[in-house]
Chain A
Amino acid sequence: GAGVSQTPSNKVTEKGKYVELRCDPISGHTALYWYRQSLGQGPEFLIYFQGTGAADDSGLPNDRFFAVRPEGSVSTLKIQRTERGDSAVYLCASSLGGLAGANTGELFFGEGSRLTVL
């Protein structure tokens, strides 16, 4: 597709369950970012991929959160043993070469996956 695609758009789960959120970036974009946004707040950085490798995962809140990008395109954010505090909108963004690359540094965002943990 033309833009960043995120699935599911909405996910309701119970406390303690495992969740996967998927991001399909714009074709050709090597950089991929995951952010988390709580209601009324700005996006909070989670992890950044350059190609297949996690170049910066300093924003992951704890070891229940993990993300992969095995072929350098689609990425999956995985949350184990979900807690009510994990409820938020999870945003994925991609860019051509990362902020320090040859492009303007603009990030293209998906519409987000709204996670609700009951």
Chain B
Amino acid sequence: SQQGEEDPQALSIQEGENATMNCSYKTSINNLQWYRQNSGRGLVHLILIRSNEREKHSGRLRVTLDTSKKSSSLLITASRAADTASYFCATGAGNMLTFGGGTRLMVKP
């Protein structure tokens, strides 16, 4: 079963625009992570935000976490064609990391 649910399932934008993906989850967590997956490849860790943090930045990535609403968002600013991939949120509790269904992002040049 998958705890996280990403929204939207698919997103298509023009290069230079910002992309926002949302994630909702159901149970208590220690942290929430975002991963990226290029077609046919493994997942690559992007960023981790702990349950006591509200916002985190890494380069062009900005992640927010609202534990009262059990939701998180990933913002990619100034998108590039190379950002085209699937993005997954994953919630960590204990030693378990549970993934959502992902958002498929397409950035058109």
Contacts and interface: CB of A to CB of B under 8 A. Distances in A.
Contacts of B100: 42
A106 B48 CA distance: 7
Contacts of B31: 99, 105
Contacts of B48: 104-106
A99 B30 contact: yes
A33 B99 contact: no
Contact of B96 (A41, A56, A93, A108): A56
B42 interface: yes
Contacts of A4: 42
B59 interface: no
Contact of B2 (A42, A50, A56, A93): A42
A50 B42 CA distance: 21
A100 B30 contact: yes
A112 interface: yes
Interface residues of A, number: 27
Interface in A36-64: 41-45, 48, 50, 55-56
B101 A106 contact: no
A91 B37 CA distance: 12
Q: What interface size band does chain B fall in? A: 20 to 34
A103 B92 CA distance: 13
Contact of A48 (B33, B35, B96): B96
A45 B98 contact: yes
A48 B92 CA distance: 13
B38 to A, nearest CB: 10
A55 B96 CA distance: 10
Which one of A35, A98, A106, A108 has the greatest number of beta carbons of chain B within 10 Å?
A106
Interface of B: 1-2, 4, 30-31, 33, 35, 41-45, 48, 88, 92, 94-102
Closest 4 A/B residue pairs (Cβ)? A42-B99, A109-B42, A98-B95, A109-B43
14 contacts: A41-B2, A44-B99, A45-B96, A48-B95, A56-B96, A91-B43, A100-B94, A105-B30, A106-B48, A107-B33, A107-B97, A109-B35, A109-B42, A112-B42
